[in-house]
Amino acid sequence: MTLGSKERTGARAVMEVLLAEGVELVFGYPGGAVLPLYDELARTPIRHVLVRQEQNAVHAASGYARTSGKTGVCLATSGPGATNLVTGIASAYMDSVPVVIFTGQVPTRMVGSDAFQETDITGITIPITKHNYLVKDVEELPRIAKEAFYIASTGRPGPVLIDIPKDVALALCRASLPERVELRGYKPTYQGHPGQLRALARLLGEAERPLIFAGGGVLASRAEDYLRQLAEKLQVPVVTSLTGLGAFPEDNPLALGMVGLHGKPCANHALMECDLLVGLGVRFDDRVTGALEKFAPRARIAHLDIDPAEIGKNVRVDLPLVGDISCILQELLPLVAPASHGPWLQRIKELRNLYPLTYGRGGEVRPQWVMERLGEMTRGQAIIATDVGQHQMWAALYYGYTEPRSFVSSCGLGTMGYGLPAAAGAALARRDKQVWLITGDGSFQMSMAELGTAMEQGLPLKILLFNNQSLAMVRQLQHFYYDRQYTAIEFTGNPDFVRLAECYGAEGLRITRQEEVVPVLARAMGNDRLTLIECVISPEEMVYPMVPEGAGLDEMLLPE
């Protein structure tokens, strides 16, 4: 069944799909090959956000999608416009974020001729997109655009790219918008296998030391309420991945926080002592497992994920279960009986006491202490976007996330420069929330031109910039693995970040002493302006805990 057909340009047909999909915002950067789409976009009520570089359009769409639960959309031209998108697309792919990307392309008669600003963006992005298209026939454009939104947002979410040659965008199209999408080779499994569900219920009933490991799949399927019901019904402690922060409220007595390379000590020890590990929407990536041969040595492992390719990829699995986490947990809850696991919870209490999360006190401004105060002052209810570096880990460990979709970061690819555009996308998606960007001077300088975008959009972002005038996470790696040979990590030409903010018309503040932290944070929280706080810290500050290469999760390095 199709909607009514009429003759219009391919570009207009794309806009019809965007409107039908409820798209309100498009992040992009124009250029010659994509102008037909921009010309039609201007005739719609869809708002366009002009970024300063195409990579940031994908990051902004990612931040928008992760905090709104909708599909993000971005637009760029051919050649360098398209290749600038690549890191953003890879970041979205690694974190399973639904984004639809439209790129302009040279006219079809010139494809393959090395024309000006021609590049094979579909070939380049095959490994980092869930699917991509080069549209050669305008009559296929409505169907392809509709399919792109369907593929991006269903099953395991991910980025989908549509490359549209300029003549295709300008050609007349009579094809109607399809009402539904039917793809013969794409049928995600949502419901769990009944036999495997019963087997999981039996494992949970038999386990004496069960542990739930929640990842981004919980948030993608909106399963956080079912996760809380399951954990509380069975009295099972919960650890999370970096992507899964916010999937389980950290003020719940069963919450142990993040696990892995820089995971909380009690979370890592609990994982090594559990006898049943239930992974929900996780990848068991290398930053979580540490040495694979030492991972969860006493546990049977149940792995639940909507992507069957993830199950058994990195760790041995005793019970696989393919499906949507929300669907599976709804089906599982009636199959399990309430439990108490008293001795196990007593052991968890001992682990908390034996291995507290600690850091050095006194003297200089401690970034860990700053993050704790920010968590208290916002009651864990702000949206926290981060860049990548030491600050990302301090934000993960010390803020205290209590709400789903409140943590936005490049978790899988680890893309520096992600934070500011993603925070802008989050602020556009959630006007009801205060959005904080936690960043470092290295990451911030990779995308700080987006201050202009944030000011144009009137976004009251709060930026907490930890300035140690160095790439301190790299310094930390050189400290432990390269005999303290500190190379290529110092910045000697940083700008005055406070004055930089003021140049954009934002408020700039600075923290150099611990007693300034609370009043400066309060001042930023109390205004409705974009505010940048430069917090000066020592380049010698480390991120602890840290699991050395080749070690197990219970062999962490802790602060002296």
How confident is the model over 135-189, as pLDDT tens digits? Answer: 999 999 999 999 999 999 999 999 999 999 999 999 999 999 998 998 998 999 9
- Helices 325-332 and 224-234 cross at an angle (nearest 10°) of 30
Task: Give CA–CA dist 254/349, Å, rounded.
Answer: 10
E strands present in 379-448? 383-386, 407-408, 435-440
What global pTM score does this model have?
A: 0.96
* The pLDDT of residue 360: 83
Residue 4, pLDDT > 90, answer no
pLDDT digits (tens, 9 = 90+) for 278-291: 999 999 999 999 99
Contacts of 141 (CB under 8 A, 6+ apart): 10, 13, 14, 135, 164, 168, 173, 175
Task: Given the residues 272, 371, 448, 473, select the one marked as catalytic.
Answer: 473
- E strand or H helix at 238: strand 238-240
Task: Give CA–CA dist 34/75, Å, rounded.
Answer: 8
Task: Give CA–CA dist 101/18, Å, rounded.
Answer: 12
- The label of the residue with tokens 């208290």 reads 376
The token duo for 386 is 């981060």
Would you place residue 6 in the very low, low, confident or very high pLDDT band (cuts 50, 70, 90)?
confident
* 195 C-beta neighbours (distance < 10 Å), count: 9
The token duo for 190 is 């949502």
Handedness of CA 263, 92, 410, 519 (dihedral sign): negative
Task: Given the residues 24, 110, 117, 490, select the one marked as catalytic.
Answer: 117
Peptide bond just before 159 cis, omega within 30 deg:
no
* 93 C-beta neighbours (distance < 10 Å), count: 20
* 482 C-beta neighbours (distance < 10 Å), count: 12
Residue 396, pLDDT > 70, answer yes
Residue 363, pLDDT > 90, answer no
DSSP string of 131-198? EEEE---GGGHHHHHHHHHHHHHSSS--EEEEEEEHHHHHSEE-PPPBSS---TT-----SPPHHHHH
Bridge partners, 49 (sequence order): 27
What is the pLDDT averaged over residues 393-414?
Answer: 97
What is the pLDDT averaged over residues 471-483?
Answer: 96
HSE-up of 271 (CA within 13 Å, CB side)? 33
CA nearest neighbour of 41 among 74, 85, 2:
74
CA nearest neighbour of 23 among 61, 55, 57, 50:
61
Task: Give CA–CA dist 197/85, Å, rounded.
Answer: 41
Residue 117 is a catalytic residue: yes
CA nearest neighbour of 95 among 220, 223, 270, 222:
220
pLDDT digits (tens, 9 = 90+) for 231-280: 999 999 999 999 999 999 999 999 999 999 999 999 999 999 999 999 99
Residue 1, pLDDT > 60, answer no
* The pLDDT of residue 44: 98
Task: Give CA–CA dist 449/451, Å, rounded.
Answer: 5
Q: Which amino acid is at 263?
A: G
Task: Give CA–CA dist 321/197, Å, rounded.
Answer: 8
Q: Which amino acid is at 305?
A: D
Residue 36, pLDDT > 80, answer yes
* The pLDDT of residue 498: 98
* The pLDDT of residue 560: 80
What are the backbone angles phi and psi of residue 361, rounded to the nearest 5°?
-120, 160
Would you place residue 108 in the very low, low, confident or very high pLDDT band (cuts 50, 70, 90)?
very high
- The label of the residue with tokens 């366009």 reads 48
What is the pLDDT averaged over residues 125-136?
Answer: 98
Residue 2, pLDDT > 80, answer no
- What percent of the chain shows pLDDT beyond 70? 99
Residue 473 is a catalytic residue: yes
* The pLDDT of residue 5: 58
Name the average pLDDT for the chain. 96
Task: Given the residues 16, 21, 40, 54, select the one marked as catalytic.
Answer: 54
What is the pLDDT averaged over residues 533-539?
Answer: 96
* The pLDDT of residue 3: 46
Q: Which amino acid is at 446?
A: M
Task: Given the residues 70, 130, 146, 166, select the one marked as catalytic.
Answer: 166
Rounded alpha-carbon distances, angstroms, from residue 93 to 40, 100, 130, 190, 286: 28, 11, 7, 20, 17
What are the backbone angles phi and psi of residue 158, rounded to the nearest 5°?
180, 175
